[in-house]
C-alpha cells in the first residue's frame, strides 16, 4: 500500500537532514510517496506567506507529515510556525523519546530510556495574550490550562505506557507555586492516574525533576508534563543521551501527526554537511510506528544502532569525521 506523506524541508540544516532521511527511507523501499510543501521562511520567500493554504491542505489530506526544523526569530518578528502547526491541527501530544545509543558522548551510556510526553497546545509556551506596555516597562502573558487539555495528555501518557509495556509515569508540575494552572494539571493527572492501577505513578516538582534527571536518569520511564516544562525537559534529556542530534519528536493529534527532530535549524552549522541526521531519522521511525509499520521502524532503528556501533561515517557531534549524507549512506547499507 502506498502511503503519501507531506514533507517540509525547513531551513538552516533542515534541507540537509531531510535529504539524508529521504535517502534512507527510499533505500527501505516502503512504498512511501512524498508531497513536498513549504512552511516558515522558505514559504515566505516563495509564496509571500508563512503557512500557505497548500501546505495546510497537504497535511490535512495526508494526515502525516515529516518536517525539518523551522526558524523562529528571537524576541521579535513572526510567531513560531511550529506552534502554529500544532495549534491548527490540534497536535496535543508531543512525544519525545530519549535513549542511550552506543558510541555517543552520553554521560550515561547504558542508563537512559525514557519518553517525555509534553502537552502541546496550551500553557505559557503558546504565547497567548502577549503584550508590552507602551513605556516598555511591563510585559504580560496569559497562561491557560484546561481540564480537557490536561486530561487528554495524561491519558495519552498512561495509554502509551500500557501500549509499550512501560511501567511508570512521572507527573511533572510546579503546583506549589503555580497553584491555578499547574495545580489543575496535577489534580486532573491524579484523577486519571487512579484509572490506571497497573501503571506506577509518582509526582515531581519540575526543578527537582531536572536535578533527578541529571543525577539518576534511570529512575524515569515516562514523564508527562505541561508545554513549557516539556520543552525544556526534553532538551535536557537530549543532552543526557549525547546531544540534540539523537533526539526525535512526534506531534500527535486525532486527525494528523507531524514527525520531526527535537532540535532547531542549527544556523551555526547550516550548509556545512556537519548536521547529524539521526534525530530526524528517529522521527521517521516514530512515523513508521504511527503508520502501522512497527517492524520497519525497528529495522530503521537497528540500522542506526549498527552504524553507531561500527562508528562508520559519523558526524562531528558524535566524534566522527563523516558528513550528513555519508552517515545516512552508511545507515542505508545496514538496513
Active-site residue flag, 231: yes
Q: Shortest gap between Cβ of 213 and ligand NAI (angstroms)?
A: 18
The backbone region for 273, taken as left when phi is positive above 0, alpha when psi lies in -120 to 50, beta otherwise, is left
89 and 31 in contact (C-beta within 8 Å)?
no
Nearer to ligand NAI, 122 or 317 (CB): 317
Active-site residue flag, 174: yes
Active-site residue flag, 125: yes
Collapsed DSSP state (helix, strand, coil) of residue 13? coil
Q: Shortest gap between Cβ of 81 and ligand NAI (angstroms)?
A: 8
Nearer to ligand NAI, 149 or 283 (CB): 283
Residues contacting residue 213 through CB under 8 Å, at least 6 positions apart? 220, 233, 236, 237, 240
263 and 270 in contact (C-beta within 8 Å)?
no
Q: Which of 231, 274, 317, 329 is catalytic?
A: 231
Q: Which of 67, 174, 274, 329 is catalytic?
A: 174
Instruction: Find cell 528571537 and name the residue.
Output: 74
Q: Shortest gap between Cβ of 244 and ligand NAI (angstroms)?
A: 4
Instruction: Find cell 510556525 and name the residue.
Output: 81
What is the per-residue DSSP string for 236-257? HHHHHTT-GGG-EEEEE-SS-E
Residue 99 β-bridge partners:
113
Q: Which of 125, 156, 317, 329 is catalytic?
A: 125
Nearer to ligand NAI, 58 or 120 (CB): 120
Lookup: cell for 253? 493529534
Positions in the binding site for ligand NAI (CB under 6 A): 13, 17, 69-72, 82, 244-245, 260, 263-269, 275-276, 279, 317
Nearer to ligand NAI, 127 or 294 (CB): 127
Would you name the residues annotated as active-site residues? Answer: 125, 174, 207, 231
Amino acid at each position: 500500500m502506498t502511503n503519501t506523506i507531506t514533507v517540509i524541508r525547513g531551513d538552516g540544516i533542515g534541507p540537509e537532514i531531510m535529504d539524508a532521511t529521504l535517502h534512507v527511507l527510499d533505500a527501505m523501499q516502503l512504498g512511501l510517496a512524498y508531497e513536498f510543501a513549504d512552511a516558515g521562511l522558505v514559504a515566505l520567500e516563495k509564496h509571500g506567506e508563512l503557512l500557505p493554504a497548500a501546505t495546510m491542505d497537504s497535511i490535512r489530506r495526508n494526515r502525516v507529515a515529516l518536517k525539518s526544523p523551522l526558524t523562529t526569530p528571537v524576541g521579535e518578528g513572526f510567531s513560531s510556525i511550529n506552534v502554529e502547526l500544532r495549534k491548527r491541527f490540534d497536535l496535543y501530544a508531543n512525544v519525545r523519546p530519549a535513549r542511550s545509543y552506543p558510541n555517543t558522548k552520553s554521560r550515561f551510556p547504558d542508563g537512559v530510556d525514557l519518553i517525555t510526553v509534553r502537552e502541546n497546545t496550551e500553557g505559557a509556551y503558546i504565547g497567548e495574550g502577549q503584550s508590552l506596555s507602551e513605556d516598555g516597562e511591563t510585559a504580560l502573558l496569559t497562561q491557560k490550562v484546561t481540564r480537557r487539555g490536561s486530561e487528554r495528555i495524561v491519558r495519552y501518557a498512561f495509554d502509551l505506557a500500557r501500549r509499550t509495556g512501560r511501567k511508570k509515569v512521572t507527573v511533572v508540575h510546579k503546583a506549589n507555586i503555580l497553584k491555578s494552572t499547574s495545580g489543575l494539571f496535577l489534580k486532573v493527572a491524579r484523577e486519571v492516574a487512579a484509572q490506571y492501577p497497573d501503571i506506577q505513578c509518582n509526582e515531581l516538582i519540575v526543578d527537582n525533576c531536572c536535578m533527578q534527571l541529571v543525577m539518576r536518569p534511570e529512575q524515569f520511564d515516562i514523564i508527562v508534563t505541561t508545554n513549557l516544562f516539556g520543552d525544556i525537559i526534553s532538551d535536557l534529556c537530549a543532552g543526557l543521551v549525547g546531544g540534540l542530534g539523537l533526539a526525535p519528536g512526534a506531534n500527535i493529534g486525532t486527525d494528523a501527526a507531524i514527525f520531526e527532530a527535537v532540535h532547531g535549524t542549527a544556523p551555526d552549522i547550516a550548509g556545512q554537511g556537519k548536521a547529524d541526521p539521526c534525530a530526524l531519522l528517529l522521527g521517521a521511525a516514530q512515523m513508521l510506528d504511527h503508520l502501522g509499520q512497527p517492524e520497519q521502524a525497528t529495522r530503521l532503528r537497528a540500522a542506526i544502532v549498527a552504524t553507531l556501533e561500527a562508528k562508520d561515517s559519523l558526524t562531528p557531534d558524535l566524534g566522527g569525521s563523516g558528513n550528513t549524507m555519508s552517515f545516512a549512506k552508511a545507515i542505508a547499507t545496514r538496513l
